[in-house]
Amino acid sequence: MSAPRGSPRGRYRRMGPGMSGIVAIGRILFAVLFVFSGVSNLVDLAATAQDIATKVAIPAALTAYTTQLESLTGMPIAQQLAISASAIEIICGLMIALNFGARFFAIILIMFVMVATFYNHNFWDLTGAERVNQTMHALKNLSLIGALLIIVGYPRRGGDGIAYAEH
């Protein structure tokens, strides 16, 4: 059934109640990856910080600021970045699963996944089997970005609580 003519949703059709349930389950299952990854990184914080320290170079122009942050927190910048990355994954994953600000948090995760892919899956610098492996990881992340774009572009619910999709 279409929305009434003259309404802002006149070009939209109602999505059935089953579709909303399927989308909710899909959103929850999708978010599990980010929540699990964030928690795993926190559980082994030392290894995560070490990995970041070997892959991320802080520009010289920021050294004064990072030194201040290290003295304020008593933690090396790599550990702070590991905690921040884990928090981003956990918070954004939970918010997407709960459909609370899902579009906003999906945009945050798009940027996060792009940066993580650049630093962690540099297939362009590798050869042989390792190049193939890192290319597959980069393509997986590209697929995650695609799914996040679907979340960003998914139609909002109307004022009546019913989801509408363009037809």
The pLDDT score that the predictor gives to residue 160 is 47
Distance CA 65, CA 98 (A): 36
Structure confidence at residue 157 (pLDDT): 63
pLDDT tier for residue 156 given thresholds of 50, 70 and 90 = confident
More confident residue, 164 or 89: 89
144 touches 113 (CB < 8 A): yes
The two three-digit tokens of residue 12, written as one number: 């939209």
Following DSSP, what letter does each residue of 4-30 receive, concatenated?
Answer: PTTSTTTTEEEPPHHHHHHHHHHHHHH
Q: For residues 43 and 19, give the distance between their C-alpha atoms in angstroms, rounded to a whole number.
A: 36
Spell out the domain ranges in the chain: 26-157
| CA–CA–CA angle 33, 39, 40 (5° rounding) | 85
The 10 Å CB-count burial string (b at 16+, else e) for 67-79 is: eeeeeeeebebbb
pLDDT confidence tier of residue 76, bands split at 50, 70 and 90: very high
